Amino acid sequence: MALKRILPPRLRAGDVIGVVAPSTPVGPALQGQLDHGSAFLRSLGFEVRLAPHVSAATLGFAATGVEKAADLNACFADQGVRAVMCAQGGLTANACLDHLDWDLIRRNPKPFIGISDITVLLTAISVRTGLVTLHGDDLLWGLGRSITDYNRSEFVAGLMSARSGPIPANRPRAALRDGRAEGPLWGGNLTALLKLAGTPYWPDLSGAILFLEDIDLAADRCECALMQLAQMGVFDQVAGVVIGYIDGQDGVSPTGHTLGDILLRLTRSARFPILKTEDFGHNCPNAYLPVGGLARLDAGRCELALLEPCVA
């Protein structure tokens, strides 16, 4: 039985944003980006509070799963913290899944924001609690470098103004397969999403709009990942696919093969629409996409629209 969908409360100036690092810790070399991202949030009127294990590397490469989960649980439990933002992605976010307090998170809904390896947590939290989570700019790489007008406007629209309707295009879009679809948004980083295959945290993709991005995705790795989805029956279930910016492949793919090309070949007998955008992904400005939230895809019009806001 599907859980009731929960929209987190919108953010307001003066709110505290808790920062966690449930994947790769923030090392000294990234302190400048941490400071810049924090300064951006403060410029919008927010207070930034770092969780205890943001820089911890207890295992030599990351904090333990127990430590990471403790930071997340504490942020959701703290009534003074109004949102939880991930510092960055990495590789080991799945280590904390078995230590999260799902009932606590469900009882204390608040925006949970991240990208890349954080796809693991965005998905698992939404699957286990019904809370709509936010795929969008993280603190270090999204907000801690060069802020664009798109970064700023999407943060305000997605998290503060409770915008619904069409998502503005960051760069030109292309319809790879025409058609329309409506359904819940699921997805994020393709490599990270597949870490959940065969686990209790995998989402029900029946009628879903699947959105995908990745980084340094060579053609053979792309083929492998998409074939795994096909063999899992995902492309028999979804109502549509949106492809974001594939860093290291879009525009510079050494073989000329893109995720879109491979997806079209693997699903040649399917009819679901496919839209190519550069509105989310690594090393590009990000729209805020509600994981588990309802959306409409019109590939012919090159439009992705939210049928409800990311926040209430």
* Same fold flag, 16-160 and 165-306: no
Show the beta-strand stretches assigned E in 1-90.
Answer: 16-20, 47-50, 81-86
Estimate to the nearest angstrom the gap between the alpha carbon of 95 and the chain centroid: 18
Q: What is the pLDDT of residue 180?
A: 98
Domain ranges in the chain are 16-160, 165-306
Show the beta-strand stretches assigned E in 64-179.
Answer: 81-86, 112-114, 133-135, 165-166, 174-177
And the tokens for 275?
């839209």
And the tokens for 101?
């307090």
Amino acid at 150: Y
- Residues 131, 231: Cα–Cα separation, whole Å: 28
- Which among 97, 70, 100, 85 is positioned nearest to 195, based on CA atoms? 97
3-state SS, one letter per residue, for 146-170: CCCHHHHHHHHHHHHCCCCEECCCC
Amino acid at 294: L
- Which among 236, 246, 181, 183 is positioned nearest to 216, based on CA atoms? 246
- Which among 311, 305, 286 is positioned nearest to 183, based on CA atoms? 305
Q: What is the pLDDT of residue 252?
A: 62
Return the SS3 of 237.
Answer: helix
Q: What is the pLDDT of residue 249?
A: 84
Edge-to-edge order in the sheet of strand 289-291: 47-50, 16-20, 81-86, 112-114, 133-135, 289-291
Q: What is the pLDDT of residue 245?
A: 95
Tokens 């995908």 correspond to 212
Return the SS3 of 35.
Answer: helix
Fold of 16-160: Rossmann fold (3.40.50)
According to DSSP, residue 85 is labeled: E
The per-residue pLDDT string of the chain (312 residues; one tens digit each, 9 = 90 and over) reads 578 999 999 999 999 999 999 999 999 999 999 999 999 999 999 999 999 999 999 999 999 999 999 999 999 999 999 999 999 999 999 999 999 999 999 999 999 999 999 999 999 999 999 999 999 999 999 999 989 999 999 999 999 999 999 999 999 999 999 999 999 999 999 999 999 999 999 999 999 999 999 999 988 999 999 999 999 999 999 999 999 999 888 766 666 789 999 999 999 999 999 999 999 999 999 999 999 999 999 999 999 999 999 999
Fold of 165-306: Glucose Oxidase; domain 1 (3.50.30)
Amino acid at 33: Q
